[in-house]
Structure 1
Amino acid sequence: MGKKQNYNWDKLSLGVCYYPEHWDEKLWREDLKRMQSAGIGTIRIAEFAWSKFEPTEGNFTFDFFDSFLKAAEETEMKVIFGTPTATPPIWLTEKYPEVLNRTKDEILLRHGARRHYNYNSPKYQELCSRIVEQLAIHYGMHPNIIGWQVDNELNCEMNEFYSESDTLSFRRFLQVKYHTLEKLNKAWGTTFWNQTYTAWEEIYVPRHTISDSTNPHEVLDYYRFISDSAINFCKIQSSILRRYIRPDAFITTNGMFGNLDNHRLEKDCLDVYTYDSYPNFAFGMGADPKNSIDLNDRKWSNNLSEVRSICPHFGIMEQQSGANGWNTGMEAPAPKPGQMTLWAMQSISHGADYVSFFRWRTCTMGTEIYWHGILDYDNRDNRKLEEIKGISEWTEKLAKVTGAEYCANIGVLRDYNNIFDSQLDKWHQRLDKNSGMEIFAACQLTHTPMDYLYLQEDTLAEELLKYPVLFYPHAFILTDRNVQLLEEYVRQGGCLILNCRTGLKDETGQCPMTVMPGKVSDLAGMTVEEHTFVGPNDEDVYMEFLGKRQEAPIFNDILEVNAENSRVLGTYLGNYYKGRPAVVEHPFGKGKVIYYGAAFSRENVKALLEYTGVISPYGNIIDLPEECELSVRTKGEKAFLFVLNYSKNPVNIVLKQPMLDLKGGAEAKGEMSLAAYEVRVFECLKSSIQEAGL
């Protein structure tokens, strides 16, 4: 297995994002002292301050941040220093317009916002390298700078690039990958609609067509190219930093955004990964009124699980502390009393050992005047600052949790081929989005902690075997290597759950003339006889699964058993394929494969969790209502159970064995009440949760 991180925080701690260039120098020392009195020991600075270092081309000055860092030294404030490449200055973009990104309509994205550059401009790479080197030389050994952030939110706002530099780089990317136009034409299926290329110069990044029906195989490679470009841009900077900064200082960047292999980014460029967590974004977005409970901000735990797959002991660079919004949109309410604590503990429960709030004070100017911080415009102490003090007290009590491992007994497999394909293929997208959230919801509501595992070039079967059950939803693209991993996992005793549309495509995104599920047909012991969307005029389609009536949503594969030892676990109850197999189980080696012919819903995932014996693994030591999330972290002989109440109402929980309540510092057992948005953390012996079935 390749390295995931080579930096770990030695103690759970708090930070905040601070912009000294926004405030009068007279406020600096007062601000830093107020932060420390609230328990904040680290600040992030400088990620948008290029002009403070290079006001005109080639003229460097460090006076401003030298003065600020002197204040940081005097107050013993630790610093994470940002490279300022997310916002090139006006002198740069005016003199070198080739550094600007363009839209698909070839409109330049002009100066005045942020992230208006492109990764592949040789001139921008040159100027970024120069400013980063100047900063690293000047500040690299500074005693208060404990870490460096590369750029800011790579691929945020714009994760597509259409500049001339991108087209030239895309051609080079394709030449390295395919070597010849003959191989490229075959991979892209260019005989369709007469798209055959006869020279490399004929190839561009995707452009508008009459119906914007760009070649999907080209777009799949284009997304891979964007990811490669962003990683290369980050590596240019991290490589420079490594030559000059203190050996004990870490390099990070803050994510997680699309069209980007974040796992490779972390491995190739960073020491540790950090995430920007804004749970308020989840309120009202895509909520399903049919559901008995709306997950809302709890959905952010799904994102945190993704982050944990990149870096098990990550940091939060921006943790929500106020209402969200720009003057151009994105309206969200202020956190209610207790929600800042809830959301910070949500991050910590999933593996964060550092939490930095955004931001110290709400900005009085610019696009982010409605993106509120801990303090409001008036600069007075408020309930949010008081709540930060309470969170700081929590971190002291949770010091022993630092470095603890998140504990899950089921995994959900993902890979970037299928992620990129689901972005361009609307059929794939609908299925992937639905099933992914429904697996997460089922695990949340049954208190069955889950992990994401990304299949990468260095993934080993041993990593998969940590989980008795793995879901691999809608794996349209199956590679030979991933199939070998799956076979080894099942052969050694794992239970693999696949579902509809598995094995439809090859790595180019084409649909080969093979019987689905393609490369895993023998492993699954079945084939797909026919398939269909559940149409708008169809009656709701259900199946009988293990004697129970279950929904079979969105898309149905009608299955055919092709192995003697395969067993039909479910049959369709409606439509023209009534009575046909819907779920097939096939033993393979010491394990088994379950092929579920429909998309996943929280109800059918619950049924699968029950059938495979992994549902609610802590049910014999703690009883929780659906409104609560359960996260478990283990370290040494100890286990730490985080119970988070996302409800605006009090809830009751039951501890079925004595545990240490870290909030009160006393032993607890039996029924107890959690207030609205309250979090409790219980310590017990790791052996007690192992006895619970893990």
Structure 2
Amino acid sequence: MGLELNEFHLGVCYYPEQWPEQNWSKDYRDMHNLGFNVIRVGEFAWSIFEPEEGNFEFDLFDRALDLAHSYGLKVILGTPTATPPAWLTYKYPEVLNVSKSGVQFQHGERRHYNYNSPVYKKMCARIVERMTKHYRHHPAVIGWQIDNELNCHIADFYSNSDHEEFREWLKDKYVSLEALNTAWGATFWNQTYNDWEQVHLTREGTCQSPNPHQRLDEIIFFSESTISFAKFQAEIIRKEAPEHWITTNGMFDHLDNHRLTRECLDFYSYDSYPNFSTIYPDSEEFPLLDRKWSWNLTKTRSVSSQFAVMEQQSGSGGWNNQMIMPSPKPGQMRLWTYQSIAHGADMLLYFRWRTAPYGTEMYWHGLNNPHGQPNRQMEEAKKIGQEMKMIGTSIIGSHYEAEVAIIRDYPNEWDGELDQWHGKLQNQSVLSWFKVLQYQHIPVDALYMNEQTTIDDLMAYNVVIYPHAAIMTENTAFLLEQYVKQGGKVIFGCRTGYKTIEGHYSTEVPPGGVSQLTGVALQDFTVIGPNEKAPTIHFGRNGYTECIAEQFVDIVTIHAESVQVLGTFSEGYFKGSPALTMNQVGNGCVYYYCSAFNYKIALQLLDEMNMVSPVEEVMEPPQQIELSIRAQVNGDRYAFLLNYSSEKQDLYLKVKRIELLSNVELDGKIQIEPFGVYVVKL
């Protein structure tokens, strides 16, 4: 079905069960007056819908939904399976999750269940079926959110049900213990199994480090368990309410979100809280801070080109005992709203309507304070509502426009969690590339390689960056070869192609399946030790420049005459060996960089490829401004210009353009206010 809307959906998360009923009418009226047209309800209300086992009560939400409909509000219903009620966990403790050390979780927070408990799946199926049957014809209901933030907080599961289901999953995957032992390299340290009952998920107390191949399978199993849990809910909803769409929200660990969406959902949703940047700051050169959340939105867009933001930050955040973050500064909530919209959101709901006066999230502020008096967040929301009425129909259904992609894949992400020989490199390299592209105003996509990827997916881009593809499958190598021959440019980093899909060290010389593409072969490698001086790299083209290698060094030899050496190491026992190479293949070319990427080398490569911003002929945005472009199929293109600075920023337009939010013609030097937003028709 996809996210196919004829107007922009702007709204808020609402919890009628937490507030006196006499408040509802005013709340809905205020929402309508702000320009909101959608609310999300019910995702934590299982004990309201089923206060006792088998006793279903819908009166409270019937009244809440009927009243919402009277004010013209559409409703998204959440299946309430993220928080099983106390009667359920007390009577059926086997539904609770268990830690890796064997300690059972207890009732009192959220997400304390396990996906594979037969009892829990039965109970979830029943509540989902009852809810969908009851609300399938309600005129306000348009769609369903499955659960809430799958794998948030907890992405590992070790209950008895999980151990048992893991064995069954392995039997389906490997058929025989012999094949399992081979895949896990079980002869090492005498880990060979001769009975399926001996096989478990990894457990504490075995050794300092689990079998890496077992752990990789374990993460894949966790992902498939999560997808299975969402899938049976989706099947019930599709059967009982086929006119409603289905989504789920969040982006968390150990979950193949692309497969989840493909098999279970109509579109994907993200929960955007940019002020987490105050808790987890980007400490590298030229920090992105809240602008870094654009990378999360970029990954979300890779799952659904048009998506929803089911929770957009509207106030300060944090639980009463952790995650303390400041309030958005005046203008920042609007800035973050347009950050989400610029990256492809066609529906956005704020979290939440009113701050809860009690509970763990009583400091996770919403648009309103508990007292409900006027505040600046409500004023910003009103302005956004007015702006969406002006431009919503223009941008709805448009796609984000980028000519560069950073390639990702789940096997390397999951293998890299345990394998620090390539996992540690990934975050630095991806962030460095994203940062440079942001500051050079070159929009970028994330492209996840999987069994569904085609050559057409790659050919949508002029350049793809695959920083540390330790696991390089035969199919991926083939697609990249075809892409380069047809004119594409590929950039690889060190540690490419040295592993098999099981996480084994390949018997091929790295970079393995892409050796012919790169024209180089690995001769040696080394980690840059904490007490070692990082080697300098000299570049001879486009002027004499240099940068410092970081974390790791691949020492390669050239085996193709077509390879050009663009940079060499100037220190160490590998002094003089290639650090950056370029190989011409067909109509395209392949770069191989023998270290982890940093800001300077990424900038050097952009210069090498003569890459410039797509708006270079129209405007000159300053570094503090993010550029995103959304394009319609009819050719209309819209530049979103977002000022993340607390200072005014000068923007120079070389040609006259209309700014849509103000309907003013811009020309020459103009200023964007602190945390300001311009939407310019190109």
The Cα shift of 1:140 comes to 1.1
Indicate the residue corresponding to 2:261 in structure 1.
266
Matched, 1:254 2:255: no
Measure, in 1, the Cα distance between the counterparts of 2:529 and 2:390. 54
Give deviations 1:374-420, integer Å, cap 9, x for gaps: 00121111111011001112212222011111111111111111111
Q: Is the CA contact (8 Å cut-off) linking 1:571 and 1:582 kept in structure 2?
A: yes
Measure, in 2, the Cα distance between the counterparts of 1:142 and 1:212. 55
- Structure 1's unaligned 5+ residue stretches are 685-694
Measure, in 2, the Cα distance between the counterparts of 1:613 and 1:122. 58
Q: Is the CA contact (8 Å cut-off) linking 2:279 and 2:323 kept in structure 1?
A: no
Indicate the residue corresponding to 2:183 in structure 1.
187
556, 559, 562: which is aligned to 2:556? Answer: 559
Hey, which bits of structure 1, 4+ residues long, moved more than 4 A?
Answer: none
Indicate the residue corresponding to 2:227 in structure 1.
231
Matched, 1:486 2:484: no
Question: What secondary structure does 2:589 align onto?
Answer: strand
Q: Map of 1:302-381 to 2, 5 A cutoff?
A: 302-381=295-374
Amino acid at match of 2:492: L
Measure, in 2, the Cα distance between the counterparts of 1:246 and 1:476. 42
Matched, 1:585 2:578: no
Measure, in 2, the Cα distance between the counterparts of 1:386 and 1:7. 28
Matched, 1:679 2:664: no
Measure, in 1, the Cα distance between the counterparts of 2:446 and 2:325. 29
Matched, 1:200 2:200: no
Matched, 1:611 2:608: yes
Give deviations 1:580-634, integer Å, cap 9, x for gaps: 1111211112211111111111111111112122232322211011111000111
Question: What secondary structure does 1:471 align onto?
Answer: strand
Amino acid at match of 1:491: K
Measure, in 2, the Cα distance between the counterparts of 1:561 and 1:8. 51
Indicate the residue corresponding to 1:651 in structure 2.
649
Amino acid at match of 1:576: Y
Measure, in 2, the Cα distance between the counterparts of 1:147 and 1:653. 41
Amino acid at match of 1:447: H
370, 374, 380: which is aligned to 1:387? Answer: 380
Amino acid at match of 1:482: T
Amino acid at match of 1:277: S
Over the aligned positions, Cα root-mean-square deviation in angstroms equals 1.1
Indicate the residue corresponding to 1:112 in structure 2.
108
Q: Map of 1:620-659 to 2, 5 A cutoff?
A: 620-635=617-632, 636-659=634-657
Measure, in 1, the Cα distance between the counterparts of 2:245 and 2:280. 35
Give deviations 1:670-691, integer Å, cap 9, x for gaps: 110011100101002xxxxxxx
The Cα shift of 1:101 comes to 0.4
Amino acid at match of 1:353: D
Q: Is the CA contact (8 Å cut-off) linking 1:645 and 1:674 kept in structure 2?
A: yes
Q: Is the CA contact (8 Å cut-off) linking 1:606 and 1:615 kept in structure 2?
A: no
Measure, in 2, the Cα distance between the counterparts of 1:472 and 1:294. 22
Q: Map of 1:121-140 to 2, 5 A cutoff?
A: 121-140=117-136
Matched, 1:404 2:401: no
Measure, in 2, the Cα distance between the counterparts of 1:567 and 1:68. 68
Q: Is the CA contact (8 Å cut-off) linking 1:538 and 1:575 kept in structure 2?
A: no
81, 87, 102: which is aligned to 1:85? Answer: 81
Indicate the residue corresponding to 1:687 in structure 2.
none
Indicate the residue corresponding to 1:595 in structure 2.
592
Identical-pair percentage: 46
49, 52, 63: which is aligned to 2:48? Answer: 52
Give deviations 1:313-358, integer Å, cap 9, x for gaps: 1010000000011012110000010000000000000000111000
* Residues 584-593 or 341-350, more deviating: 584-593
Q: Map of 1:535-546 to 2, 5 A cutoff?
A: 535-545=529-539, 546=541
Measure, in 1, the Cα distance between the counterparts of 2:337 and 2:327. 15
Measure, in 1, the Cα distance between the counterparts of 2:107 and 2:588. 58
Indicate the residue corresponding to 2:421 in structure 1.
427
The Cα shift of 1:35 comes to 0.9
Indicate the residue corresponding to 1:689 in structure 2.
none
The Cα shift of 1:243 comes to 1.0
Matched, 1:521 2:527: no
Measure, in 2, the Cα distance between the counterparts of 1:74 and 1:553. 60
Q: Is the CA contact (8 Å cut-off) linking 1:410 and 1:614 kept in structure 2?
A: no
431, 436, 440: which is aligned to 1:442? Answer: 436
Indicate the residue corresponding to 1:212 in structure 2.
208
446, 450, 455: which is aligned to 1:456? Answer: 450
Question: What secondary structure does 1:387 align onto?
Answer: helix
Matched, 1:505 2:499: yes
Matched, 1:169 2:162: no
Indicate the residue corresponding to 2:238 in structure 1.
242
The Cα shift of 1:287 comes to 2.9
Amino acid at match of 1:187: A
Amino acid at match of 1:189: G
Q: Is the CA contact (8 Å cut-off) linking 2:391 and 2:661 kept in structure 1?
A: no
Question: What secondary structure does 2:60 align onto?
Answer: helix
The Cα shift of 1:514 comes to 2.3
The Cα shift of 1:210 comes to 5.0
Matched, 1:25 2:21: yes
Measure, in 1, the Cα distance between the counterparts of 2:572 and 2:436. 27
Question: What secondary structure does 1:655 align onto?
Answer: strand
Question: What secondary structure does 1:426 align onto?
Answer: coil
Q: Is the CA contact (8 Å cut-off) linking 1:226 and 1:259 kept in structure 2?
A: yes
* Residues 232-241 or 630-639, more deviating: 630-639
The Cα shift of 1:246 comes to 4.8
Indicate the residue corresponding to 1:663 in structure 2.
661
The Cα shift of 1:501 comes to 0.2
The Cα shift of 1:201 comes to 0.7
Indicate the residue corresponding to 2:8 in structure 1.
12
Q: Is the CA contact (8 Å cut-off) linking 2:468 and 2:493 kept in structure 1?
A: yes
Q: Is the CA contact (8 Å cut-off) linking 1:141 and 1:244 kept in structure 2?
A: no
The Cα shift of 1:136 comes to 0.6
The Cα shift of 1:81 comes to 0.4
Measure, in 1, the Cα distance between the counterparts of 2:452 and 2:280. 36
The Cα shift of 1:284 comes to 4.9
* Residues 172-181 or 617-626, more deviating: 617-626
Measure, in 2, the Cα distance between the counterparts of 1:303 and 1:648. 22
Measure, in 1, the Cα distance between the counterparts of 2:6 and 2:387. 16
- Structure 2's unaligned 5+ residue stretches are none
Indicate the residue corresponding to 2:462 in structure 1.
468
Measure, in 2, the Cα distance between the counterparts of 1:222 and 1:242. 30
Indicate the residue corresponding to 1:690 in structure 2.
none
Amino acid at match of 1:18: Y
TM-score (normalizing by structure 2): 0.98
Amino acid at match of 2:13: C
The Cα shift of 1:120 comes to 0.6
Q: Is the CA contact (8 Å cut-off) linking 1:469 and 1:612 kept in structure 2?
A: no
Matched, 1:575 2:572: yes
Give deviations 1:25-73, integer Å, cap 9, x for gaps: 1101111111111111111000000011111111111111112112112
Question: What secondary structure does 1:59 align onto?
Answer: coil
Paired residues in the alignment total 677
Measure, in 1, the Cα distance between the counterparts of 2:404 and 2:631. 16
The Cα shift of 1:307 comes to 0.3
Indicate the residue corresponding to 1:146 in structure 2.
142
Question: What secondary structure does 1:427 align onto?
Answer: coil
Give deviations 1:482-518, integer Å, cap 9, x for gaps: 1111111111111111110001110111102321111
